[in-house]
Structure 1
Amino acid sequence: MGLVIILTVLLAGCEAQSDDTMIAPPPPEVDVAEVIVEPVTLWESFTGRVVAPETVDLRPRVSGYIDEVAFEEGELVKAGDLLFQIDPRPYKVREQAAHAELALANSQLQLASSEANRARTLVERQAISREEYDQRNAALLSARARVQVAQAALDTAELDLQYTRITAPISGRAGRALVTQGNLANADQTLLTTLVSVDSVHIYFDANEKSAISNQQLLANGGPSDVRITLGEEQGQQFLGYLDFVDNQLNLGTGTLQYRALLQNQQGLIRPGQFARVEMPVARLDSALMINRKAVLTDQDRRYVYVVDENNRVMTRQVDTGHPVGELLVINNGLNRGDRVIINGVQKVFATGMEVRPQLIAMRELPLNMLAAAQELSQ
């Protein structure tokens, strides 16, 4: 019995000693950043399609057999370059015949002119009748008309001969040859190839009514007409274009307004038909409150952030988020200037009101090259 009492006393003493030596864990360390307040232009993204400003379906103006295809398919051509040659021999024969007809008509005109002049002298001497005089003048007028007809026929023959050389009407990129050497091409019917201009391209896209109204208000107040265009993948190369056309009415079926942006394409790398992502400015805020996207948490349809107060206690703030600006989000409601928001370490927060150890960092993440430069300066 005495042994039991001694053991009980010893165990109680050990438990008391263990309770006395327990130490509460320190507050968790989190990264916080102050809300950014600065002027910003808000952009919205739309899907667009690349279209060539000029597109030509090349067809012959005269019929004939193709003698030569004088271009490389898919290559750039200049206005005036020979693309197709139709057999010119039949048209050369017609031109020569027209020259002969004109020469004959001129000789007949010369004869009729001489007879008319002679008749004028004879009628003054009353050597011929007035009727014969009128007949010779009529013959002169008829000869002149025949010369005009022959000249018109020659002009037509020369044009037809020129049309056997089918040249590029615009500078651009040629498609494939749809008719090859030896095949018959019918005037105004046979499609030979297609040309598209490439020095600049148009990007057509449709903006919803709300965004269109905001953009129109921004433009009316002298806002930028520049747009950012990304081709290919989400992280593809970005280009800068500008708005050069806005449709005069909304599409009743879709409720959208069509825009067109002009993009320079001097190297010809952008092809008509490509999809493009177009970012267009829709508003300008003089003092926007922004935080890093990583700070925003979701709970069903509710968005909130953790804010650290002056006592390093965590508070929950429900926020109304707006447009993205890079890695930042515009906050419409829920935060104030000077608020410190937890960016990294939100998983360490278990309850509102708990104490944390805040480490102040920049709200906007620096690019890698700027971060390396900052580290060098700090050393």
Structure 2
Amino acid sequence: MVGKHLKTPLLLISIAAPLVLSGCQDSHAEVTQSAPPAPGVEVAEVLVETITELDEYTGRLESPQTVSVIPRVSGYVEQVHFEEGTMVEEGDVLFSIDDRAFVAEVARLEAELSSAKASYNQSIKDHQRALKLNKNNAISQETVDARFTAKQRSAASVAAIKASLSQAKLDLAFTQVTAPITGKVSRADITKGNYVSAGNTQLTTLVSTAHMYAYFDVDEVTFLKYQKLNKLKAGEGYAKQLVQLGLANDAAYPRVGHIDFVDNAINQATGTIRVRAVFDNKDQSLWPGMFAKLRITGSSSYEGMLIDNRAVGTDLNNKYVLVLDDNNIVQYRAVSLGEKLNGLRIVADGLLPGDKVVVNGLQRVRANMPVTPSEVSMANELTLSMLRDQQDLIDQQRQSLTTAALNEKG
């Protein structure tokens, strides 16, 4: 009886053991099959190009000279001689004021001057005659002195009338109101037949257009950077700070100028300093008041590293990228970034040439995760072409400024 009872448990154990083993194997297989594959990401090698850092500002164009044309004599406007909104040369007659009263005044003073000169000549003769008579005791010394005084008074009268005549001739000349500078004239504020007051009535305005100014404000840190950069540039043979200009309808910055003025103090309220750039305007395409997009070279040219902005992630206040190692595992790398250039970001620190970073799929992976990489270019051919063309243009513009500076030193 006892033997029968022992055989039954042994039989159950022998049957259950293979079932348990089989169950373990099936469970392991399920775990193996459920492990996810390494996610696919696009990676690109860090781009190394010759670049120049650029700082962007906005401002308004201003004319170097803006003149209000105001008459120096009073009278009625007789004629307007210019076409409104056109270029005029310095000295061109803009307005004529009725000059009849001024002509008459000149004529009157000329007649007075002739009379005064005659009186003066007579006083000279009288004085000389008195001197001769006095030698023979024919007249007293008192008479001689009186005639000398009369001569002096006549001379003073001639001088006074000459001065009045000079002023009258000036007033007559001022009836022809001329352009004080070469530039573009505005509309006529006063038209024919209106009375104008000397030193008071504005007739029109003029702006010089050969050059244009653009004023903008630079923060203190950037200003210090420019100061340091200009010292380096002076050693390289050019000291003028390059400024590129684009108008409201310009996609690029086709015009070039340079900084020609920096204010003498930093505004303590804003922490900025006023800076001015000057641009040549021979083609007359720049007008005062135009919106100006300004781009300033913030560095010398150097071999810099660039990455697609899509590759950059944000971790709290830090910027980072995921770098692919030799085992196709992505590694966290904190980076210090510079300005944007044609959609790419300058990498100041954190990467090395040859590093490959994740540019697409960043949200699907995390540090120390294996990935299935697919290598792509960091930038397309159009972006690279634009980047290189921009650098070539900067180099050409710098050379142009250098040549101009050397010619000025002559």
| TM-score with structure 2 setting the length | 0.77
1:23-60 C-alpha deviation (Å, 9 max, x unpaired): x9998876543213455432211222211111111110
- Counterparts of residues 43-192 of structure 1 (less than 5 Å): 43-192=54-203
Aligned with residue 295 of structure 1, among 302, 307, 311: 311
Moved more, 142-151 or 235-244: 235-244
The CA RMSD over aligned residues, in Å, is: 2.8
Cα deviation for residue 333 of structure 1 reads 3.5
Moved more, 26-35 or 198-207: 26-35
Q: 1:279 aligned to 2:290? A: no
Query: Which residue identity does 2:361 align to in structure 1?
Result: V
Cα deviation for residue 136 of structure 1 reads 1.1
Q: 1:305 aligned to 2:327? A: no
Residue in structure 2 matched with residue 268 of structure 1 by the alignment: 284
Aligned with residue 199 of structure 1, among 199, 204, 210: 210
> Quick one: structure 1 residues 204 and 319, their matched pair in 2 at CA, closer, same or farther if it must change by over 3 Å?
same
Task: Give the structure with the larger helix fraction.
Answer: 2
1:141-179 C-alpha deviation (Å, 9 max, x unpaired): 111111111111110110000000000010111111111
Task: State how far apart, in whole Å, the 2-side matches of 1:261 and 1:93 are.
Answer: 51
SS at match of 2:53: strand
Report if the CA contact (8 A) 1:66-1:84 is conserved: yes
| Count, aligned residues | 348
Task: State how far apart, in whole Å, the 2-side matches of 1:44 and 1:322 are.
Answer: 11
Moved more, 63-72 or 324-333: 324-333
Report if the CA contact (8 A) 1:59-1:191 is conserved: yes
Cα deviation for residue 236 of structure 1 reads 5.4
Task: State how far apart, in whole Å, the 1-side matches of 2:59 and 2:41 are.
Answer: 42
Residue in structure 2 matched with residue 8 of structure 1 by the alignment: none
Cα deviation for residue 302 of structure 1 reads 5.1
Cα deviation for residue 280 of structure 1 reads 2.0
Residue in structure 1 matched with residue 361 of structure 2 by the alignment: 346
Report if the CA contact (8 A) 1:43-1:282 is conserved: yes
1:48-85 C-alpha deviation (Å, 9 max, x unpaired): 22111111111100000111111111111110111111
> Quick one: structure 1 residues 26 and 233, their matched pair in 2 at CA, closer, same or farther if it must change by over 3 Å?
farther
Report if the CA contact (8 A) 1:293-1:328 is conserved: yes
Residue in structure 2 matched with residue 231 of structure 1 by the alignment: 247
Q: 1:327 aligned to 2:338? A: no
SS at match of 1:188: coil
Greater C-alpha radius of gyration: 2
Task: State how far apart, in whole Å, the 1-side matches of 2:193 and 2:45 are.
Answer: 76
Query: Which residue identity does 1:144 align to in structure 2?
Result: A
Task: State how far apart, in whole Å, the 2-side matches of 1:157 and 1:90 are.
Answer: 10
> Quick one: structure 1 residues 370 and 320, their matched pair in 2 at CA, closer, same or farther if it must change by over 3 Å?
closer
Aligned with residue 366 of structure 1, among 371, 374, 381: 381
Tell me, which stretches of 5 or more residues in structure 1 are unaligned? 1-18, 372-379
Query: Which residue identity does 1:212 align to in structure 2?
Result: F
| TM-score with structure 1 setting the length | 0.83
Report if the CA contact (8 A) 1:314-1:354 is conserved: yes
> Quick one: structure 1 residues 207 and 296, their matched pair in 2 at CA, closer, same or farther if it must change by over 3 Å?
same
Task: State how far apart, in whole Å, the 1-side matches of 2:215 and 2:385 are.
Answer: 36
Report the identity percentage. Answer: 36
SS at match of 2:156: helix
SS at match of 1:321: strand
